[in-house]
Amino acid sequence: MLLKMQRLATREYKIAVIGSSGVGKSSLCLQFARNKFPNSKKLLLTNYYRKQVSLDNEHITIHILDTNGNEKTTNDFISQAHGFIIVFDITKSNTLIEVDNFYQLVRTIKNCFTVPLVLVGNKFDLNDIRLIGNENAQRVALNLKCQYYEVSAKTKFNIDLIFIECVRVNKRQFFRVRSTENTCCRCSVV
């Protein structure tokens, strides 16, 4: 019984995955949570996943909120989330332009100046036909004051990394806010 209790998660984080339609948000979530890449839209009906991971000798449960492009779901999930992964498609230039809209939406809903987030360029497996250069995405990340990663939901390249990094960013921000007693976000870590 004691061994089982040690494996239980000690912290839980809700991460909302947001971005333009068709950038691969659901594929990222499914690949991280279940090690599957969807062959059809039928596998993408779920908008909630959960996965337990070990991070820095701590057992953590990550609740993944996949917005699926639905505006009401997006707003609800943003209000519930502790951290955010904003996704764009490196093969579609308009999806990087739309990143700022999602960032502003998060800041508005969370009523917060800075938010724990990671910027993600998906579809690295299509690198040979990319329209968005790494330098452009890095500039956007610099403006948003966040880390930028390129991933492939199809090949699982960097998928685990982005979710773990989002939890780390969230932990750092949470402890920084706690140490300064300056709370602006309407979120908490359970």
How far from chain centre, in Å, is Cα 125?
A: 19
Please state which of the ranges 78-92, 103-117, 137-151, 155-169 shows the lowest mean pLDDT: 103-117
Mean pLDDT (the chain) is: 85
SS3 category, 56: coil
Residue 21 has φ and ψ, to the nearest 5°, of: -65, 135
Cα separation values, 108 from 34, 46, 111, 114, Å: 32, 26, 5, 11
pLDDT, tens digit (0-9, with 9 covering 90-100), for 30-72: 999 999 988 765 545 568 899 999 888 889 999 999 987 666 7
- pLDDT for residue 6 is more than 50: no
Alpha helices in 35-158 (DSSP H): 71-80, 93-97, 99-110, 134-144
- Domains with residue ranges and CATH for the chain: 2-180 (3.40.50.300)
Is 121 exposed, middle or buried (CB count within 10 Å of its CB: 0-12, 13-18, 19+)? buried
pTM of the predicted model as reported, rounded to 2 decimal places:
0.85
Bridge-based pairing state of the strands 11-19 and 58-66 = parallel
Q: At residue 151, does pLDDT exceed 80?
A: yes
As beta bridge partners, residue 18 has: 86
